Amino acid sequence: MGIGMQAERVTVALLLLTIGWAACAQTTWDEAASRLRAASLAPEQVTAILERARAHGLDPRVAGPWAARAAGLAQDGIPSAILGERISQGLAKAVPVGRLESALADLDANVRWVNGLLDRITARAERRDNPGQTELALRAGEAALRAGLSRDQLERALGRRPVTLEQAVVFSQTASSLLAAGVSVADVIKALEGPAKAGISAAEMQRLERRFVAELAGGRTPDEAFEDFRSELGATMRDRVNGPGSDVREGMRRQLGHEMRDTMRETLGGPGGGAHMGVGAGAGAGGSPGASGAAPGRARAGNR
């Protein structure tokens, strides 16, 4: 009877311990979720991240540094979703936690640097009025760095001069697009630096990148497609000798408008102010950012 009662007590104690442990674990995952949500990550993204982390048997405390990093980005006005997506990708690919953390540190540093670059080369008013475009420029810059450009090379690819957000997006995307196809970094910089300094518009560059990608999809080799890209770019540059086209003049007008608004805000002491912008010849042009052609390889894209 004594042994039976003891066994019963041990069973009850084990049961209580299990319940207590489960409750504590749940609380910790809940805390992790709260911290990630507080860092401006979307609830569905938080759910997906934590579900994967649990599925991999990770400790909930692993989310602490992620939340801190995301909160830091959000505090500096950088969308933390970019970080959340990288966490999701890393967990999906079962990347070890150490390597994931290291990749997040790189992403954090790069996206902050791109943000600083945008602060220097684009008008503050334009960034404030176009948060979607600003996020696209951050993503494009980070992708260009990930594609193989150094920070200095990315600055060179953007011409080291004031640009519109559209130009920042398109030039960064064009650089990473060329690199993704296997064009060397040196060739990419050589091809983009001059046109960027000359203020080739976003629309013009977008058209050329779209054609480059379409040629790849059409079966041309990267070398052939890049040769065409360079040749077309050269022709565009030569055309510009005759003076800026209407799209370039429109870009200049918009750039000047943004700068005037910044200056007025600074003078009147209002919010915003402070972007130091010069107006370069032919800065920016209309048109959507980015370029597109056909889908690569056998991922076929077509309008239906």
Partner 1 sequence: MNEGTSEGDRRLEAWLADAPRVAPSAAFRAQVMGALARRRAGPVRHFLFSPRILKWNFAGLAGAFAVALLAVGIAWTLQPSVDPGPDAARVVKVRFVLDRPGASAVSLAGDFTGWKTRVALERQADGTWQAELRLAPGEYEYAFVVDDDQWIQDPSATRFRNDGFGGRNAVLLVPGVNGDRNAG
Which residues bind to partner 1, rule: CB under 8 A? 44-45, 48, 85-86, 88-95, 99-100, 103, 106-107, 130, 132-133, 135-136, 143, 146-148, 173, 176-177, 179-181, 206, 210, 213, 216-217, 222, 287-304
Question: What one-character DSSP code corresponds to residue 80?
Answer: T
Q: How far is the CB of 98 from partner 1 (least distance, A)?
A: 11
238 vs 300, which CB is nearer to partner 1?
300
39 vs 169, which CB is nearer to partner 1?
169
Contacts of 116 (CB under 8 A, 6+ apart): none
| Residue 158, H or E segment | none
48 vs 74, which CB is nearer to partner 1?
48
Q: Please identify which residue in the block is written with the tokens 């077309």.
A: 232
Rounded Cα gap, residues 149 and 188, in angstroms: 9
Q: How far is the CB of 128 from partner 1 (least distance, A)?
A: 16
Longest dimension (CA), the chain: 105
**Tokens at 51, concatenated:** 């579900």
3-state secondary structure of 136: helix
173 vs 265, which CB is nearer to partner 1?
173
25 vs 301, which CB is nearer to partner 1?
301
Report the residue count for the chain. Answer: 304
13 vs 301, which CB is nearer to partner 1?
301
Rounded Cα gap, residues 208 and 176, in angstroms: 14
Q: How far is the CB of 299 from partner 1 (least distance, A)?
A: 5
116 CB-side CA count, 13 A: 10
128 vs 197, which CB is nearer to partner 1?
128
3-state secondary structure of 159: coil
Torsion 133-136-141-144 (CA) sign: negative
Let me know if 148 is exposed, middle or buried by CB neighbors in 10 A (0-12, 13-18, 19+): middle
Q: How far is the CB of 137 from partner 1 (least distance, A)?
A: 9
Q: How far is the CB of 46 from partner 1 (least distance, A)?
A: 12
Q: How far is the CB of 289 from partner 1 (least distance, A)?
A: 6
Q: How far is the CB of 12 from partner 1 (least distance, A)?
A: 36
